[in-house]
């Protein structure tokens, strides 16, 4: 729960939370943090009771003893809590202080009274229709544990809007002023955050608090999964308003589907997952993992035989590995999308040496004709790319006309779509320019914008020394020569520098002793 709440409330990754908690534990600020226990010692319960009673009053205290709901919970240690609950804060950096405060508040809240809410539901009958309107509101009568702590939630689709209702009586007749109706859409299941993934692992009985962080770090470090923000898309919806006897219809827009700090499977992760499901389905079964955890617990408590457990697992597993090595042809991670209508050749999405690609045709031994390849764009995946999207990739590079007697070509490279003109590359504007439909006029506009930017960048160049340049940088003018940068002395006018002046500055800089950075060793 600590890992989940720190992710939701503080924005810490699971591994970051455990690293900070380790430092707090080593400094004696909190109890052992790699535990799934929810129990507090009598010493802690008494200390917390005194704090709650002194600060808020006896009505805010309620002794509670919890039982873990997690599958296979060991509860070998006390729950995570401040070592000394009377310490409301600690000396430390900001991240340590914030995590400690979270633990302190949750510890107190766990021994406080329930909050008391008065919830009112009003059902409004319509004289001309069997349908009913429903209004809900709630009032906080007693704040209880909410005085200290409000728990976060992973439910992104909860749109329930509750608030104060006006004074109203049973059987009161209401007059209609405005009735509004807004079009809403169903939501796909939300993608996992680190916090919600930990919660799912707990529900399935997979892993322990000590293994959640390394598990998530591993899939991120290997590139199976990406953790990133993604922009939403604009969507239209209908709004209807009935006022007096007139119904007004409006088409409005909203941004939907934006994601923040979510986990997205990448191409290599999808391929590995499909491969394992194909050949090691029994091991990827959630029940298998939970069963192994239970066997480990039995071995730790002396009820199980370690050698027998390993023998029962390893013999069939080794045989399964050998069989897979002999029959597997899945290493390419290919997916056939369909047929190219122009050539009649198959269109295949697969993983290549430098990333996911789409190819048209296959290399045949009796033919010199080679397949055509196109790299996938960012956000496209082997598992989800459509035939139409794949064929679009082969529409580039494309010519959009000539400018100053030289061809302008649009293509997509490692850093995104661009226009090539006179051996120079100009990037297209993100979310503005479409490489498949950009016009010659827009391409010329981008080229001129780039030229203007370059003119401001280059203060001075030298025809007989193309490697020598005086440039405008973020921190002011500087000299660039053979991939090295040199400061221009104060009081020197950059525009007036001759070639000889530049080389003198370069020579003096190369001769001057380099500053050494010394580190103080900790004893």
Mean pLDDT of the chain: 86
Q: What is the pLDDT of residue 74?
A: 57
From its phi and psi, is residue 361 left (phi > 0), alpha (psi between -120 and 50) or beta? left
Q: What is the pLDDT of residues 453-509, one digit of tens each?
A: 887 788 888 888 888 999 988 788 999 998 889 999 988 888 889 999 999 999 888
Cα–Cα distance measured from residue 205 to residue 201, given in angstroms and rounded to the nearest whole number: 6
Band of the pLDDT at 76, cuts 50, 70, 90? low
Q: What is the pLDDT of residues 123-147, one digit of tens each?
A: 999 888 888 889 888 888 899 999 9
Domain range summary for the chain, segments of one domain joined by +: 2-109, 270-327, 335-394, 396-458, 462-511
Residue 400 has pLDDT above 90, yes or no: yes
Q: What is the pLDDT of residue 209?
A: 83
Q: What is the pLDDT of residues 32-74, one digit of tens each?
A: 988 888 889 999 999 999 999 999 999 999 998 887 666 555 5
Q: What mean pLDDT is predicted for residues 264-274? A: 86
Query: Comparing 371 with 36, which gets the higher pLDDT?
Result: 371
Say which CATH class 2-109 falls into.
mainly alpha
Q: What is the pLDDT of residue 321?
A: 92
Distance (Å) of CA 162 to CA 124, 139, 184, 477? 17, 9, 18, 59
Q: What mean pLDDT is predicted for residues 249-274? A: 89
Cα–Cα distance measured from residue 381 to residue 351, given in angstroms and rounded to the nearest whole number: 10
Q: What is the pLDDT of residue 161?
A: 52
pLDDT over 70 for what percent of the chain?
93
CA dihedral 287, 288, 289, 295 (to 10 degrees): 110
Q: What is the pLDDT of residue 520?
A: 43
Among the residues of 423-478, which ranges form H helices? 440-457
Q: What is the pLDDT of residue 423?
A: 87
Band of the pLDDT at 156, cuts 50, 70, 90? low
- Quick check: 214 and 237 in contact, CB under 8 A? no
Q: Other CB atoms closer than 10 Å to residue 475's CB: what's the count?
A: 7
Q: What is the pLDDT of residue 284?
A: 87
Residue 157 has pLDDT above 60, yes or no: no
Q: Which residues are part of the catalytic machinery? A: 32
Residue 515 has pLDDT above 70, yes or no: no
pLDDT over 90 for what percent of the chain?
42
Residue with structure tokens 């609950």? 85
Cα–Cα distance measured from residue 44 to residue 106, given in angstroms and rounded to the nearest whole number: 13
Q: What is the pLDDT of residues 314-328, one digit of tens each?
A: 999 999 999 888 877
Cα–Cα distance measured from residue 62 to residue 40, given in angstroms and rounded to the nearest whole number: 14
Query: Comparing 215 with 152, which gets the higher pLDDT?
Result: 215
Q: What mean pLDDT is predicted for residues 218-222? A: 92
Cα–Cα distance measured from residue 301 to residue 293, given in angstroms and rounded to the nearest whole number: 13
Q: What mean pLDDT is predicted for residues 163-179? A: 83
Q: What is the pLDDT of residues 403-452, one digit of tens each?
A: 999 999 999 877 788 999 998 899 998 878 988 889 999 999 999 998 88
Residue 330 has pLDDT above 70, yes or no: no
């Amino acid at each position: 729960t600590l890992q989940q709440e720190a992710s939701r409330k503080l924005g810490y990754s699971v591994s970051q939370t455990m690293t900070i908690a380790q430092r707090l534990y080593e400094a004696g600020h909190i109890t052992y943090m790699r535990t799934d226990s929810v129990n507090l010692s009598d010493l802690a319960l008494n200390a917390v009771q005194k704090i709650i009673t002194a600060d808020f009053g006896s009505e805010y205290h309620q002794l509670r003893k919890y039982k873990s709901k997690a599958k296979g919970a060991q509860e070998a240690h006390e729950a995570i809590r401040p070592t000394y609950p009377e310490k409301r804060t600690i000396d430390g950096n900001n991240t340590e202080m914030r995590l400690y405060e979270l633990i302190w508040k949750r510890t107190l809240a766990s021994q406080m009274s329930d909050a008391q809410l008065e919830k009112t539901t009003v059902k409004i009958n319509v004289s001309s229709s069997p349908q009913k309107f429903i209004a809900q509101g709630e009032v906080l009568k007693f704040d209880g544990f909410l005085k200290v702590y409000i728990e976060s939630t992973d439910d992104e689709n909860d749109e329930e809007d509750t608030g104060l209702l006006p004074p109203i009586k049973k059987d009161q007749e209401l007059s209609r002023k405005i009735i509004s109706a807004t079009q809403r859409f169903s939501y796909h299941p939300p993608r996992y955050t680190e916090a919600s993934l930990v919660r799912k692992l707990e529900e399935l009985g997979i892993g322990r608090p000590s293994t959640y962080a390394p598990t998530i770090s591993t899939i991120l470090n290997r590139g199976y999964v990406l953790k990133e923000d993604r922009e939403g898309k604009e969507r239209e919806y209908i709004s209807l308003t009935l006022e007096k006897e007139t119904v007004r219809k409006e088409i409005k827009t909203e941004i939907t589907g934006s994601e923040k700090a979510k986990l997205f499977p990448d191409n290599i992760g999808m391929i590995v997952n499909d491969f394992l499901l194909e050949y090691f389905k029994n091991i990827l079964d959630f029940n298998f993992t939970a069963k192994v955890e239970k066997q480990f617990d039995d071995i730790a408590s002396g009820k199980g035989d370690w050698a027998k457990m390993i023998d029962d697992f390893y013999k069939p597993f080794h045989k399964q590995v050998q069989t897979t090595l002999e029959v597997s042809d899945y290493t390419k991670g290919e997916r056939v999308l369909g047929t190219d209508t122009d050539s009649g050749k198959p269109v295949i999405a697969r993983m290549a040496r430098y990333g996911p690609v789409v190819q048209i045709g296959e290399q045949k031994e009796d033919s010199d004709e080679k397949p055509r390849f196109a790299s996938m764009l960012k956000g496209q995946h082997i598992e989800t790319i459509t035939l139409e999207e794949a064929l679009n990739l082969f529409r580039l590079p494309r010519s959009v006309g000539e400018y100053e007697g030289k061809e302008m070509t649009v293509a997509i490279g490692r850093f995104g779509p661009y226009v090539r003109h006179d051996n120079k590359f100009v990037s297209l504007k993100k979310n503005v320019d479409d490489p498949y439909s950009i016009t010659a006029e827009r391409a010329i506009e981008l080229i001129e914008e780039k030229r203007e930017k370059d003119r401001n960048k280059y203060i001075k160049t030298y025809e007989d020394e193309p490697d020598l340049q005086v440039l405008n940088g973020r921190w002011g003018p500087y000299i660039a020569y053979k991939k090295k940068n040199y400061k221009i002395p104060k009081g020197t006018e950059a525009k007036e520098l001759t070639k000889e002046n530049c080389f003198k500055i370069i020579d003096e800089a190369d001769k001057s002793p380099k500053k050494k950075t010394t580190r103080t060793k900790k004893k």
